[in-house]
Amino acid sequence: MIDPLLLNLEQHDVLTDEERDILRRIVVREKRFSAGEDLVVEGSRPGQSSLLVEGFAARYKLTAEGMRQITALHVAGDFVDLHAFLLKTMDHGVVALSPCRVGLSDHADLKIVTERYPHLTRMLWLDTLIHGSIHRAWIVAMGRRSKASHLAHILCELYVRLGVVRRTDSWSFHLPLSQSEMADVLGLSLVHMNRVIQTLRRESLISWNNQTITILDWERLKEVAEFDPTYLSLSAEPR
Amino acid sequence: MIDPLLLNLEQHDVLTDEERDILRRIVVREKRFSAGEDLVVEGSRPGQSSLLVEGFAARYKLTAEGMRQITALHVAGDFVDLHAFLLKTMDHGVVALSPCRVGLSDHADLKIVTERYPHLTRMLWLDTLIHGSIHRAWIVAMGRRSKASHLAHILCELYVRLGVVRRTDSWSFHLPLSQSEMADVLGLSLVHMNRVIQTLRRESLISWNNQTITILDWERLKEVAEFDPTYLSLSAEPR
DNA sequence: CGCGCAATTGAGTCGACTCAACGTTGGTGG
DNA sequence: CCACCAACGTTGAGTCGACTCAATTGCGCG
């Protein structure tokens, strides 16, 4: 169950056999969700954290007028609410964007990890820090890039993150988001989202059919996105 | 030197005398910066992390066309680049927005903390998680709120965060940002930033003179901002 | 076949941008 | 002491991006 998590963490530093073993023991109780279901409800105080084993999920907040903003996208190998271990109260919801398989980890066990396994603790901390980096990259894209560039950036990021957990197929990957859901990622209206997608298609940068993204020109897409993967901390080094 | 850090951390959980002592011992080497200087340079690999003791600082990224987006604002008591301890390479710069006093903490010492003081480690981890929460709140404000609401949200947040470290004076606080710097926070042009500020003034929600913000109507400002401080995790509880 | 959902297109409006100019203030040097 | 400059703030005018409302198309499934 923790295979994608290992692919994820070992991208940043080596893990010992013991550490892999501990992860295997603390991630238990598989749960399944169907698309649209909430993995975690805003305002709740979960006693465990959810490791996404398969599928796509999103963190989101709703505004008073009922608009939704997605603040993060999660793929296999992501600990979607590890931060709840210390934040305690969820300030946002987490929704399944596709059928999802999830492994649960009790906060009590995570606490034991922090008391006995400092390096593993740092690796989990790192995981939350990388999601913080991703937030910052999104803020820059939202504030200072064109919408086409913002979309390109998100697709570059997803391509790289999915590659780490072996969910890409040469230049394409499965992306089970509707245009309306993607609009909630970029903070756009559905109509305008559609038009932005079409500009990337018209430029032959991507194709997007049947929930499949194909990157037609990686170099130009990266250029449009100003994508620099440094923020994903993909190098393995002592942490 | 660590007083504002203690005010900050003790907002979230109690610290033991020993923990306070350790913080005092690992935060050393005071440094001063003048407004406009970089505390940390993008792309660098700092060997220590900076605790902001006094002043205002901002994390930022530059786009290819030279535009700047500020991704976080920091006040006294914030560990502005604690994440560099594990991320290693800075994916963004940190600039002083006013004269700043900073305390430095070696990463080697932080590593020792993670090996010997699990609760203190969790508190530092929590600090980075809260900054992640703030990032998410900003993403929502950027994506789904009007610019006036976004500005109101940032002012509410600053008022609360500055209150925690005792940097407010009844309903006002010192904010040494120019409108142009604030434009880099919201992702706006300078001209439009000015107009947005004027709408909040016209509504008698705030005044902003001589680098001083005064909140004239907290209830309505909160309402315009849809400000809910949950994301700042201000309750003290075992972590 | 026809319903329902997702994607697409058109038209009109409003928000945010740029370019440009002017006002205000504080600091500097002749 | 005053003239000047630089930085910040403010205002006006015209353009373009993103929105809403509305209608249409495409597709999968009962």
d(CA A81, CA A208): 29
Domain count, chain A: 2
Cβ within 8 Å, pair A118-B122 = no
Looking at the structure, do residues A103 and A23 belong to the same domain, yes or no? yes
Could you tell me if B109 and B167 lie in one domain?
no
Q: State the nearest Cα–Cα gap between A173 and chain B, in angstroms.
A: 26
Test mutation, B42, B61, B180, chain A, max A CBs within 10 A: B61
Q: Are residues A64 and A164 in the same domain?
A: no
**Which chain B residues are closer than 8 Å to A87 by Cβ?**
126, 129-130, 133, 233
In a domain, B77, yes or no: yes
pLDDT at position B28, please? Answer: 87
pLDDT band at A217 (very low <50, low <70, confident <90, very high): very high
Please name which of B184, B160, B150 lies closest in space to residue B66, comparing C-alpha atoms: B184
CATH number of the domain enclosing A221: 1.10.10.10
Residue whose tokens read 């920091």: B74
pLDDT of amino acid B196: 98
Express each pLDDT in B151-169 by its tens digit. Answer: 999 999 999 999 999 999 9
User: Do residue B88 and residue A239 have CB atoms under 8 angstroms apart?
Assistant: yes
What is the chain B residue with the closest CA to A112?
B118
Given a cut of 90, whether residue B112 has pLDDT beyond it is yes
Which residues constitute the domain of residue A103? 3-135
Chains A and B form CB pairs within 8 A to the count of: 137
Would residue A50 count as lying in a domain? Answer: yes
Which of A71, A86, A233 is opposite residue B126, by nearest beta carbon? A86
Q: What percent of chain A has pLDDT over 70?
A: 100
Task: Answer yes or no: do B33 and B121 share one domain.
Answer: yes
Query: Which tens digit of pLDDT belongs to each residue from B5-62?
Result: 999 999 999 999 999 999 999 998 899 999 999 999 999 999 999 999 999 999 999 9
Q: How many Cβ atoms are within 10 Å of B6's Cβ, its own excluded?
A: 16
pLDDT for residue A28 is more than 90 = no
Domain match, B111 and B16 both: yes
Average pLDDT over residues A104-120: 97
Let me know whether A111 and A208 are in one domain.
no
CB contact under 8 A, B143 and A64: no
Supply B50's token pair.
């900076």
The C-alpha atoms of residue B99 and residue B174 are separated, in whole angstroms, by 13
Mean pLDDT of A195-212: 95
Q: What's the number of CA atoms in the CB half-sphere (13 Å) around residue A164?
A: 24
Structural domain includes residue A63:
yes
Q: What is the pLDDT of residue B174?
A: 96
What pLDDT score was predicted for residue B50? 97
Are residues B82 and B8 located together in one domain of the fold?
A: yes
Where does a domain end: B96, B112, B135?
A: B135
CA of B96 to C1' of D3 (A): 33
In a domain, A239, yes or no: no
B239 within some domain: no
Question: Is the CB atom of residue B180 positioned under 7 angstroms from any atom of strand D?
Answer: yes
Rounded Cα gap, residues A199 and B227, in angstroms:
36
* B142:A142 CB<8 A: yes
pLDDT of residue B98: 96
Q: What is the pTM of this model?
A: 0.97
Residues B65 and B21 in one domain: yes
Q: What residues of B are in contact with residue A47 (Cβ under 8 Å)?
A: none
Return the bridge partners of A48, or none.
A106
Query: Does B50 fall in a domain?
Result: yes
Final residue belonging to a domain, choices A100, A135, A170: A135
